[in-house]
Amino acid sequence: MDSTYDALKGKRKSVPPTSKLVVGHSDGAGHIVKEILGQSVRAASYVTDHDHLRWKYHADAGNLPPKLLPAVSNFDALLTRIKKNVPKEFRRPYYDQVGKSLYLALDDGDPDNIDMHFSDIKRQLQEIIKAPVLYALAGAGLSFILVFGCFLTYRYCSDPLLSEYSQYIGMGALGSMLSLLQRSREVWPFSSSGSVWVIVQGATRPFIGGVIAIGLALLVKANLMMGSLVTTPYTLLAMSFFVGLSERIIPEISKNIERVMVNS
């Protein structure tokens, strides 16, 4: 029997000898090891050549003790949450982190530390799950404030020009609010800033919609574009709403035009 030191318990434990996993070789169960996420004489976690996440427990003659079953339950539950909440193209790093967490929990051997080993990946998944809600709330809240402010300006402002253009800003903000609510499920929290970045993303969309709407109104008023199509004030209001609704594609179109100009 081999012996290893359990730093948390401060004592030595006996574990059975085990063959070491080697990348590019079989794991002993007919699978080729592609990547090793963690390995010791007690346990191992790895990825096969078919991108399947697998684990092994070597201690106690390979029999997982009941006290460590919660670690495997956490592992299975987190894999399900990742599959449900993370887009397929982004899942691999999260799967790997779950595999590393399971390895650490099994290698540790202390059931009291299981939650600690899985805490980081649980926090990240929780941010992913709540990101669409935060995005929608931030955007809807700022849209309401902006639209309400534009309504008050239109209703009570004595300057006819400011009163008129406040309508376009309000309609652009309203359109952008519907746009962000529709695509809130596509929001992805950046690991470096988490929820803060999601809130900033949502809050800025109504302002972008309002700015684009007022830009359109200025261009039309100056007869630089589509002036002949605007026959009534309601036409321009409708156009302001739709450019707000399409605020996401405006920056993309601008970037494409800029790229074409640079390349030419």
User: In this predicted model, what pLDDT tens digit does every residue of 7-27 receive, in sequence order?
Assistant: 333 333 433 445 688 999 988
**pLDDT tier at 32, thresholds 50, 70, 90:** very high
Q: What are phi and psi of 121, to 5 degrees?
A: -70, -35
pLDDT given for residue 160 in this prediction: 85
Neighbours of 60 (CB within 10 A): 15
**H/E segment holding residue 47:** strand 43-48
Helices 160-182 and 233-245 sit at what angle, rounded to 10 degrees? 40
**SS3 at position 209:** helix
Rounded mean pLDDT of the chain?
Answer: 80
Lowest-pLDDT choice from 40-49, 171-180, 253-262: 253-262
Helices 114-156 and 160-182 sit at what angle, rounded to 10 degrees? 150
In the predicted model, what is the mean pLDDT of residues 59-69? 89
CA atoms within 13 A on the CB side of 33: 20
Helices 114-156 and 69-85 sit at what angle, rounded to 10 degrees? 30
Domain ranges of the chain: 2-109, 129-263
Q: Which string of b and e fits 153-191 if b means at least 16 CB within 10 Å?
A: bbeeeeeeeeebbbbbbbbbbbbbbbbbbeebeebebee
In the predicted model, what is the mean pLDDT of residues 87-111? 92
Which segments within 164-241 are labelled E, that is strand?
none
Distance of CA 20 to the CA centre of its chain: 36
pLDDT tens digits, 147-200: 899 889 888 888 888 888 888 888 888 888 888 777 766 666 554 456 777 888
Residue 137 has pLDDT above 70, yes or no: yes
Q: Where would I find the H helices in 9-113?
A: 69-85, 91-108
pLDDT given for residue 36 in this prediction: 94
Q: What are phi and psi of 195, to 5 degrees?
A: -65, -30
Residue with tokens 């300057």: 159
pLDDT given for residue 14 in this prediction: 37
Lowest-pLDDT choice from 78-82, 193-197, 199-203: 193-197
In the predicted model, what is the mean pLDDT of residues 59-78? 92
Residue 205 has pLDDT above 80, yes or no: yes
pLDDT given for residue 35 in this prediction: 94
pLDDT given for residue 194 in this prediction: 64
